[in-house]
Amino acid sequence: MSNTHPHGLEFLFHPSSIALVGITTAETGHWTHTFLDSLIEFEFDRPMYLVNPKGGEIKGHKVHRSLRDIPGTVDYVIGLVNAHIAPQLVEECAQKGVRAVHFCTSGFSETGDEQRVKLESELAEVARRRGIRIIGPNCMGIYCPESRVSFSPAFPRDKGHVGIISQSGGNSIYMVRQAALRGVRFSKVVSYGNACDIDENELLEYFAQDTDTTILALYIEGIKDGQRFRKVLEEVTKSKTVILLKGGTTEGGARAAAGHTAALAGSRATWDALCRQLGIIRVSNIEEMVDVLVTLSFLPIPRGRNAMLFGIGGGASVLIADEFESRGLTVPGLPGEIMAQIQEFTPVAGNILRNPVDYSQAMMNPDGIRRTLDIVSGWEGTDFVVVFIRTGQFVHRGVVPARVASWAAMLFAKQGDLPRPVAMVLEPSIMPEEAEAIWAGILGCVAAGLPVYFSFASAANAINLVLTHAQNRPATA
């Protein structure tokens, strides 16, 4: 264990043993096998038990007929049982000395049904009376690479410094997988669902003390104690960079949130004001969240807002410049002496050596590209460099992979090799050969420690959000 906490939730992330209660024995590929597959993929190295009244064996692991039949102690239970027997499971867990139960099970207060709301209250009451902590119900639970616990076998096994608190299980999976593709790694992720016991406030208090986490992403649909929420957020923002995605800010979204996690939503203006006051980066969708996580993880904070844009295509140059300047970033023109230095080894015909620099006719000249990047990134009028490659505008499909691969070989120096921070825009394609080439480019970016974005707008938006946060932080910290 890398650190200890005065707070009582640390054991959730480092369980000494796990039991999967209610795992289906009849079907392969059943959703209840997700957790088993994840623990196997992550090579969970403490005792792991499977429980189903039918007994038997799953993937070489014995299936016990009840918790009582397990010979050893059980620290943490993943509850995969039907909702109506969840309170009974908590009673059985108490008899076994279990400390916490994560209920993936749905069918509680999120349905809006009076009996189901009552069932969730009963579940919470039994847990309080028996001294057992509950994550959920209706959630995916814990992902902690350090302790080899995960709710998806597709998640990366190596740890990082990004934490996620997400009311939604599906959104947490999407955030982790999309950000991981671009190199982001995680300390701890919690999907907490209906929060009948452990809620966003208690999780925030935990993460405020967690030295493994420096960036904290929040997906919140509703809160139960607004005053406490604000107070603990103030504490968290003193030591972490916090990004917030608030679900349910419209009438339709609020209705969906009530039907998803039984959450009370709150107005958009209220959340906007909270984020401004506490120096929280507010995003409006998961794609923005991932872009900001990529930026915070891989782009050294530029000293200013002057962007040097370098890529292929006159029309693309116009559009990327518009995207950056419309978000308050500046695209300053190159002075004559800098253009003259580039013209010494680059033909003017077909190349526009201003800013953006359109290197269309010299794109197969790796030495020229590198020398040009050295010159423009060393110019005092530059604060950061954005290289853009738009494969979809090439005339011939067959040429695309070779061109992207050649650009990758030319450009993927390590972050820090150039005088200014560097970001990459690689516009994706669904055509198989193009997608494969772009994927190689993304892997090159990740290996080089470069942030990679999938559109001009997403790069401009994320860099602006992070820069604005950095500029305002001293006043709010």
Q: Domains (ranges, CATH) in the chain?
A: 10-135 (3.40.50.720), 141-298 (3.40.50.261), 307-476 (3.40.50.261)
For residue 54 the two structure tokens come to 């039918």
Structure tokens at 171: 């959104």
Token readout for 200 is 């966003």
Strands 215-220 and 241-246: parallel
Q: Find how far residue 263's CA is from the centre of its chain.
A: 22
380 Cβ contact partners less than 8 Å away, ≥ 6 residues apart = none
Rounded-to-integer distance, Cα 477 and Cα 471, Å: 11
pLDDT at 180: 98
The residue with tokens 């008899």 is 95
Q: Which amino acid is at 14?
A: H
Q: What is the pLDDT of residue 448?
A: 92
CA distances from 63 to 18, 48, 55, 417 (A): 13, 10, 5, 55
CA distances from 287 to 30, 90, 299, 458 (A): 29, 38, 17, 8
Neighbours of 335 (CB within 10 A): 12
Q: Going residue by residue through the chain (477 aa), what tens digit of pLDDT does each one get?
A: 334 334 589 999 999 999 999 999 877 778 899 999 999 999 999 999 999 999 999 999 999 999 999 999 999 999 999 999 999 999 999 999 999 999 999 999 998 899 999 999 999 999 999 999 999 999 999 999 999 999 999 999 999 999 999 999 999 999 999 999 999 999 999 999 999 999 999 999 999 999 999 999 999 998 888 899 999 999 999 999 999 999 866 666 555 544 544 444 567 788 888 899 999 999 999 999 999 999 999 999 999 999 999 998 889 999 999 999 999 999 999 999 999 999 898 877 767 788 999 887 777 788 888 899 999 999 999 999 999 988 777 777 767 777 777 777 777 778 999 999 999 999 888 888 888 888 888 999 999 999 999 999 999 999 999 999 999 875 444
Cα four-point dihedral sign 260, 266, 269, 275: negative
Cis before 432 (ω within 30) = no
Q: What is the pLDDT of residue 1?
A: 38
- Residue type present at position 265: A
CA 398 to chain centre: 34
Cis (ω within 30 of 0) for the bond into 137? yes
Contact 189, 147 (CB under 8 A): no
Q: Give pLDDT, residue 253.
A: 53
How far apart CA 1 and CA 99 sit, in angstroms, is 18
Which pTM does this prediction carry?
A: 0.92
